[in-house]
Amino acid sequence: MRELVERGLGEHGVLGERGRARRSVTVNLRESPLSWLAARGLVTARQLAAGERLRADWERAQLSPRVTMAWDRVRVDGGSADSGDATTAQLSAKRRFDAAVAAAGPGLQDVLWRVVCAGEGLPATEKAFGWPVRAGRVVLCLALDRVAAWYGV
């Protein structure tokens, strides 16, 4: 595991009963568009740290779309599906994510979400918005600077 982390690979596991891992997934942490930009000196270390904190809050809040039905939210006893579902950490992460994105401003939220959270590359983002080539990096850097100021990075 140590050599995986040193090569930029992280291992994420799901713990089963008695704390034993049921499955593990190896993730290449250098594959994110933000890490790719940082490796080439196109974003600063401060901007990378802000983007990683935003993505961590996104993941911790479990805001990504689900592939299947969320069966854990179905209540058989007729109670509310929202009562006690989310943990305190999840709710805190959601509040931090919402506040950080709001701090970026209305014109910068979309590019932040697409590149940092959804993992979409800058060329695809620029094409989706109809922007000229290399304009996405400028807008992304502005958004990351605002998020970094909000996080206090």
Q: CA distances (Å), 109 to each of 26, 38, 58, in order?
A: 29, 20, 13
Region of 67 on the Ramachandran plot (φ > 0 left; ψ -120 to 50 alpha; else beta): alpha
Give per-residue pLDDT as tens, 27-61: 565 678 888 899 889 999 999 999 999 999 998 88
pLDDT value, residue 22: 60
Q: Domain residue spans in the chain?
A: 1-29, 32-66+86-153
pLDDT attached to residue 147 = 95
How sure is the predictor about 5, in pLDDT bands with cuts at 50, 70 and 90? very low
pTM of the full predicted structure? Answer: 0.68
pLDDT in tens, 119-133: 888 999 999 999 998
